[in-house]
């Protein structure tokens, strides 16, 4: 038995699928080429040729991920008259806010990676405008919206769905007639699930709250004292990268080599630099996302459904959330389960003291060297 029935098609895109626009409405914007043309290019050209023309293809988009989301959204436009389609665009997805465990996170992406690297003293500088709003959205809020959208969107469109059962798979002609029948025309709706408009928090607020928690309850596997300097200047970042990353990295790798172990810090810092230069498109730009459809959907739900599937970003208390997020990073990303460890606190105090002595010594040496370079006047 073959059942041909599609109620609502939900596609998870990203709020940055139109990253070249400062103001992003809940609509599909045209891409630079048709999706079918992009597919033809990928199928007909070698990887080397594609790599050469890639920068011109995705010009205006932060990366290929966001560009491919834009192409897919445009592809879905061809099917909006056949089946109801909902496009859900989350911004930067972060740890859980409510359930099943507040603070749970299982990856290093976006702000989570920054907090993880800063938390253990690995990352000390980054390209970022700390005064910008960091549009983070808890993962469970996105999931709750994804659960809610199909039934709500189906009710809103008031589309009369057709369900048929065949003993054998339907013919292509039957499928074509079904898809193009007037009763199955659905439409397309976009939902920007974001936080920046209704409950904004800046990068500075997010990082300061995170670092405050990590100061209070540091991980046991800290490499160094927490230092984090942000800048919007690529030139200044590269100088700080040499001073705060590569210099201590070479020192540690030299020690590891002498100890007969494999050096790894410089490789790690080169990866961090590449990641930083890629992410600067997100951490130095500000977007204004419209989320009217999400807000409307929330107010159309009754109290029981709102309690079961909460996705109202205005209900999130950032103080509690950031504390839970930092705790989740330590527990589930850094895999440090020793909460409130006295050993970790003592070790971190030693690292702070060592850091202070190191920079005092380096500053003294620098001042001494500069003073010796200045010609002294003869009496």
The H or E element containing residue 65 is helix 64-76
Q: What is the pLDDT of residues 271-311, one digit of tens each?
A: 888 888 888 888 999 999 999 999 999 999 999 999 999 99
- DSSP code for 229: E
Q: What is the pLDDT of residues 141-190, one digit of tens each?
A: 999 999 999 877 665 554 444 444 334 444 544 443 443 343 334 589 99
- Whole-model pTM above 0.75? yes
What mean pLDDT is reported for the chain?
84
Residue 122's nearest CA partner among 328, 334, 367, 304 is: 334
Q: What is the pLDDT of residues 209-230, one digit of tens each?
A: 998 888 888 888 887 888 889 9
Summarize the confidence of residues 255-276 as an average pLDDT. 88
- Sort strands 2-4 and 164-166 into parallel, antiparallel or unpaired: antiparallel
Q: Which residues contact 332 (CB under 8 A, 6 or more apart)?
A: 103, 104, 105, 106
Token pair recorded at residue 186: 């659905």
| Residue that is written with structure tokens 């607020």 in the block | 205
Quick one: the chain helix, strand, coil %, rounded to 5?
Answer: 55, 10, 35
The whole-number pLDDT of residue 186 equals: 57
Share of the chain above pLDDT 70, in %: 88
Q: What is the pLDDT of residues 306-356, one digit of tens each?
A: 999 999 999 999 999 999 999 999 889 888 877 777 877 787 778 778 777
| Residue that is written with structure tokens 């290093």 in the block | 108
Are 194 and 137 within 8 A, CB to CB? yes
């Amino acid at each position: 038995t073959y059942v041909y029935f599609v109620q609502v098609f939900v596609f998870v895109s990203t709020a940055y699928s139109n990253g070249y626009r400062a103001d992003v409405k809940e609509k599909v914007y045209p891409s630079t080429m048709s999706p079918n043309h992009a597919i033809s290019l990928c199928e007909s050209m070698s990887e080397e040729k594609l790599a050469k023309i890639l920068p011109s293809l995705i010009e205006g988009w932060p990366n290929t991920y966001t560009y491919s989301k834009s192409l897919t959204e445009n592809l879905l436009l061809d099917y909006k008259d056949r089946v109801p389609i909902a496009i859900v665009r989350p911004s930067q997805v972060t740890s859980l806010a409510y359930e099943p465990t507040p603070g749970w996170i299982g990856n290093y992406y976006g702000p989570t990676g920054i907090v993880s690297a800063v938390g253990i003293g690995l990352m000390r500088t980054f390209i970022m405008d700390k005064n910008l709003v960091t549009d983070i959205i808890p993962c469970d809020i996105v999931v709750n919206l994804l659960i809610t959208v199909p039934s709500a969107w189906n009710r809103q469109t008031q589309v009369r769905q057709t369900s048929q059962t065949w003993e054998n798979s339907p013919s292509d002609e039957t499928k074509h007639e079904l898809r193009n029948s007037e009763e199955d025309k659905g439409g397309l709706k976009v939902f920007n699930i974001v936080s920046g408009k209704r409950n904004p928090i800046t990068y500075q607020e997010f990082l300061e709250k995170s670092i405050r928690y990590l100061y209070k309850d540091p991980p046991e596997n800290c490499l160094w004292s927490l230092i984090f300097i942000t800048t919007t200047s690529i030139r200044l970042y590269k100088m700080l990268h040499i001073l705060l990353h590569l210099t201590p990295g070479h020192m540690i790798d030299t020690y590891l080599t002498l100890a007969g172990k494999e050096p790894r810090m410089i490789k790690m810092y080169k990866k961090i630099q590449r990641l930083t230069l890629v992410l600067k498109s997100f951490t130095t730009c500000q977007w204004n996302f419209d989320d009217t459809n999400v807000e409307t959907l929330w107010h159309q739900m009754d109290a029981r459904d709102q309690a079961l599937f909460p996705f109202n970003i205005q209900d999130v208390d950032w103080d509690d959330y950031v504390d839970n997020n930092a705790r989740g990073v330590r527990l589930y990303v850094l895999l440090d389960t020793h909460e409130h460890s006295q050993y970790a606190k003592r070790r971190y105090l030693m690292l702070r003291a060592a850091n202070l002595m190191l920079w005092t010594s380096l500053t003294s040496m620098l001042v001494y060297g500069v003073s010796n370079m200045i010609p002294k006047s003869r009496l």
